[in-house]
Structure 1
């Protein structure tokens, strides 16, 4: 398996799927992260494939100390603040320069909640194995190597009533929803899982922007289904967050949305959340930057 890996994703659905063979996991509100424990080092990967080790060095050190070489885990980097999971704190860390990230880690250390194992130190690449097998391998590996927080296993149940209890009672603790997975499903790229969450948003890939790269006015996003649309004007804080990533992308070129508006392309790997109720409109509304 070569770094980076294409990750599996979840499709937003209105209701929790039920029936034989479903497994349900808590959806923590953090930053998607893949942990690579290699022979002599640890690398952390964002959903986009970008190397984010420098901003999550506390997690990298924990993984180096506790995980055996030849292990690749999928999960979420989260930060607890004031007794709950705080996405804003995780976002601040993810968007920081390495020096600032180290300072932030001193006050608010990160945790890694893992839900899948892609590479096993003894059995190799296990992505083609069923979910239930991978879950058992993951749980056994964490137990046998006495892996403790900040690395922890995401809670899972096969009871939809328990999953709905999580969904209804835990949002104030930062549990933003539930992810449903087939017990027999293999791990592969694309939206192979289902999720319900309290925020009525969908993830959209950022493919471009309008205005100057140093202060973008709006984003061009690829919505579920493939349509490209412009967003409403960005707030100043969100524009600053986006600009920090645009500076590192390749040479820009001009393109047009499905409805004909022009924009400048980007390969930043950014993902934003947009209000689900606006995805059919010519202009969509961004709620927050999700990852890069």
Structure 2
């Protein structure tokens, strides 16, 4: 292993080869205030780490550790303009009609290599970077956030879209304005960071303030009969790992059966389905995949043992 802060044999600092553990945030109920705080808008997208190796090599990693480079050829091509030895942390989003569209992001993430280029042309992705972990092979994780932020802006400023830094302010009143006005653009809240904080993968040192306790999730599958699914398999923003909902209420089972009853475009990619999802207390449960076109409003709660996802309603045209 190479000494901290120096590139290893891959051209990246030690500890920054996939799977890279990302920094996390804990939820708060009110806006933190005080000296030394920075505020960023929280976009509704997929968490992604961009790794730029020497030569032409680029890897794009989801929060789960899954490599998704083939699904985002547009972002991979843009990332080749970064200096070798650079690692970014951020959110991939798709803008449609002036707001972020999480279902479109999930469609991009789920695309097969054969369909990905066409989807990239139809639904181009943007990368909202909020941290730089390494630049030119130098490890920046031990630097203060304000230093990393300066390096991030200097790095991406000359490149422009689709790679760009998220907005940031140290003014809590401007942060309140963002919080109140940006939901129309698909911004779900704010992330708050200390200016003097280091980057620690896996640690919940950041804070996030959301507008509600509910979120929109994309339906990627179901368990039970197609006409009356017993539960839905969902992907929530910022986490690409499918999760099983709690059992659906009877009315929702009927509505889900109607909404999922007609094969949708892209269903050919789901042939020979042998997908499974982890159910607490049960283990791996098989489910049928569906194209990521239906969204649901969900509440995500926590018990002492596990997370619970409850489907509140389906966003259909019924």
Q: TM-score, normalised by structure 1?
A: 0.75
Structure 1: runs of 5+ lacking an equivalent: 222-227, 257-261, 267-271
Change (3 A) 1:50 1:216: farther
SS at match of 1:69: coil
Distance apart, 1:47 and its partner CA: 0.4
- Is the alpha carbon distance of 1:287 and 1:100 closer, same or farther for their aligned partners in structure 2, counting shifts above 3 Å? farther
Pairs within 5 Å for 1:123-138: 124-138=138-152
After superposition, where does 1:165-184 map in structure 2 within 5 Å? 165-184=177-196
Q: 1:142 is matched with which residue?
A: 156
Q: Which moved more, 1:108-117 or 1:85-94?
A: 85-94
**What SS is found at the alignment partner of 1:169?**
helix
**Does residue 43 of the first structure (1) align with residue 59 of the second (2)?**
yes
CA contact (8 A) 1:178 1:196 kept: yes
Distance 1:59 1:181 in 2: 26
User: Which SS does the other structure have where 1:80 is aligned?
Assistant: strand
Among 161, 165, 176, the alignment partner of 1:164 is: 176
Distance 1:58 1:172, change over 3 A: same
Q: For 1:51 and 1:14, how far apart are their aligned partners in 2?
A: 34
The two structures, once aligned, show a CA RMSD in angstroms of: 3.6
Q: CA deviation at 1:82?
A: 1.1
User: Secondary structure of the equivalent of 1:285?
Assistant: strand
Which residue of 1 is the match for residue 284 of structure 2?
A: 264
* Correspondent of 2:76 among 47, 60, 68: 60
Name the residue aligned to 1:285. 310
Whole-Å Cα distance in 2 between the matches of residues 113 and 216 of structure 1? Answer: 36
* In structure 2, distance between residues paired with 1:203 and 1:220: 13
| Residues 13, 80 of structure 1: alpha-carbon distance in 2 compared, 3 angstrom cutoff | same
Distance 1:287 1:29 in 2: 19
Distance 1:35 1:20, change over 3 A: same
Q: Distance in 2 between matches of 1:155 and 1:7?
A: 20
Q: Please list every run of 5 or more consecutive structure 2 residues that lacks an aligned counterpart in the other structure.
A: 1-15, 235-242, 287-295, 314-318
Greater helix share, 1 or 2?
A: 1
Q: 1:247 to 1:170 in 2, by over 3 A?
A: same
- Indicate yes or no: 2:164 matched with 1:185: no
Distance 2:102 2:144 in 1: 31
Could you say which residue in structure 2 is the equivalent of 1:269? none
Moved more, 228-237 or 172-181: 228-237
Give the TM-score, by structure 2 length.
0.69
Partner Cα separation in structure 2 for residue 284 and residue 3 of structure 1: 28
Q: Does 1:275 align with 2:293?
A: no
2:246 corresponding residue in structure 1:
231
- Go from structure 1 to structure 2 and tell me whether the alpha carbon gap of 1:75 and 1:104 turns closer, same or farther (over 3 Å shift): same
Q: Does structure 1 residue 110 correspond to structure 2 residue 125?
A: yes
Mark the structure with the bigger radius of gyration. 2
Distance 1:216 1:126, change over 3 A: farther
* Displacement of 1:29: 1.2
How many residue pairs match? The answer is 256
Say yes or no: does 1:10 pair with 2:35: no
> Kindly tell me: are residues 287 and 121 of structure 1, through their superposed partners in 2, closer, same or farther at Cα, counting changes over 3 Å?
farther
